[in-house]
Amino acid sequence: MLMQGLRKADVLQWQPGWSGVWLRNLVANAVMLAFLLYFRGTTEAWLAMGLWQRVEQMLWLVLGGILIYLMVQAIMGLRLRHLRA
């Protein structure tokens, strides 16, 4: 809805190369989701953990998700110079 409104108001205009950005984001998010779903564990295991075990588990999931996302972006061609305006 936001994107439709921005395009309708002529604030957002499609630029060449954006389809590649969308594809990279879609693939990186799908791989990150697969990683998180695979390593999340069961609800029973989560509830049986103590506080610090949960903190550690969440830390590994967050750091792993970030690392997987950035690695897929890099493999698919995103470079730091693309992020500079």
CB 13 within 8 A of CB 66: no
pTM of the predicted model as reported, rounded to 2 decimal places: 0.79
Per-residue pLDDT of the chain (85 residues; tens, 9 = 90+): 888 888 888 887 888 888 888 899 999 999 999 999 999 999 999 999 999 999 999 999 999 999 999 999 999 988 888 778 6
Q: Where are the domains of the chain?
A: 17-83
Q: How far apart are CA 58 and CA 61, in angstroms?
A: 5
Structure tokens given for 59:
């830390």
